[in-house]
Amino acid sequence: MRKRKEAERLLQPMTAKVILNPYSNRWNSQARWPEAETALKKAGVVFELTISQKARQVTELAEQAARDGFSPIIAAGGDGTIGEAVNGMAKAAKSEKALLGPLGILPMGSANDLVVSLGIPMDLQAAAQAIAAGKIRAMDVGEVNGFYFANNSAMGLEPYVTIKQQRITRIKGVLRYLVAAVQGIMDGPSWNVRLEWDGGHYEGPVSLVTVGNAPRTGGFYMIPHADPFDGRLSFVHAYRKSRMQLLAMLPKTMKPEPNSYIHEPEVYSYHMTWLKIHVESPTPAHTDGELFSTGIQDLEYRIHPGRLQILLP
Which residues have CB under 8 Å from 225's CB, separation 6+?
Answer: 215, 234, 257, 262, 269, 271
Say if residue 34 is in the same domain as residue 121: yes
223 close to 236: Cβ distance less than 8 angstroms: yes
Closest to 79 measured CA to CA, from 172, 165, 151: 151
pTM above 0.85, yes or no: yes
Range of lowest pLDDT (160-174, 228-242, 282-296): 160-174
CATH number at residue 102: 3.40.50.10330
Distances (CA, A) of 167 to 174, 177, 218: 15, 11, 15
Q: Give pLDDT tens digits for 180-212.
A: 888 988 998 999 999 999 989 999 999 999 999
Name the 3-class secondary structure at 248: helix
Question: Is there a single domain that holds both residue 39 and residue 168?
Answer: no
Query: Residue 262's pLDDT band (boundaries 50, 70, 90)?
Result: very high
Q: With 60 as the cut, is the pLDDT of residue 281 above it?
A: yes
Residue 143 lies in a domain: no
* Domain edge (last residue) among 101, 134, 167: 134
**Same structural domain, 301 and 158:** yes
Overall number of domains in the chain: 2
pLDDT of residue 261 exceeding 80, the answer is yes
Question: CA 115 to CA 131: how far, in whole Å?
Answer: 13
Q: Are residues 119 and 200 in the same domain?
A: no
Q: Phi/psi of residue 110, each to 5°?
A: -85, -55
Indicate if 164 and 33 belong to the same structural domain. no
| Residues 156 and 114 grouped into a single domain | no
Q: Give me the percent of the chain exceeding a pLDDT of 90.
A: 82
Cα gap 119→65, rounded to integer Å: 26
Judge whether 106 and 76 are in contact, CB under 8 Å: yes
Distance CA 108, CA 19 (A): 12
Q: Residue range 164-183: average pLDDT?
A: 82
The rounded distance, in Å, linking the Cα atoms of 270 and 216 is: 16
- Cα maximum dimension of the chain: 77
Task: Say whether both 115 and 199 belong to one domain.
Answer: no
**pLDDT, average across residues 33-56:** 96
pLDDT at 55: 83
* pLDDT at 6 > cutoff 70: no
Mark 91-100 as b/e (b = at least 16 C-beta within 10 Å). ebbeeeeeeb
Residues 6+ apart with CB under 8 A from 169: 26
Mean of pLDDT values over 40-66 = 96
Residue 250 maps to a domain: yes
Distance (Å, whole) CA 211 – CA 213: 7
Report yes or no on 177 lying in a domain.
yes
pLDDT of 90 higher than 50: yes
Confidence of residue 260 (pLDDT cuts 50, 70, 90): very high
- For residues 261 and 182, membership in a common domain is answered with yes
The residue type of 248 is A
Q: Is residue 228 part of a domain?
A: yes
In a domain, 141, yes or no: no
Domain end call among 99, 134, 169: 134
Same domain, 88 and 210: no
Average pLDDT value for residue range 102-127: 97
Regarding whether 199 and 87 lie in a shared domain, the answer is no
| 89 and 6 together in one domain | yes
Residue 104 lies in a domain: yes
Q: Which domain holds residue 71?
A: 2-134
Which pLDDT does position 13 carry in this prediction?
55
Same domain? 162 vs 300: yes
CATH (domain of 213):
2.60.200.40
Instruction: Specify if 139 maps to a domain.
Output: no
For residue 79, the tally of other CB atoms under 10 A from its CB is 30
Is position 74 within any domain? yes
% of the chain surpassing 70 pLDDT: 96
Q: Which of the listed residues 134, 165, 183 is the one where a domain comes to its end?
A: 134
